[in-house]
Amino acid sequence: MNETLSLAEIFSRFESEWILIADPEVDDRFKIIRGRVHRNVRM
């Protein structure tokens, strides 16, 4: 997936899945704001 998504969008699209976020954008506290989903695995 090449689309950059907000963390809220990632959580809504990949609910109950493990995800690996590529190129994360973080705030000053190093919390992820947005990124690209590189891999996802259903649990």
Query: Average pLDDT in the 8-30 region?
Result: 95
- Percentage of residues in the chain having pLDDT higher than 90: 91
Is a pLDDT exceeding 90 seen at residue 43? no
Buried b (16+ CB within 10 A) or exposed e, 5-42: beeeebeeebeeeeeebeeeeeeeeeeeebbbbeeeee
Answer whether 0.85 is exceeded by the pTM. no
Q: What is the mean pLDDT of the chain?
A: 94
Name the pLDDT band for 6 (thresholds 50, 70, 90): very high
| pLDDT at site 2 | 85
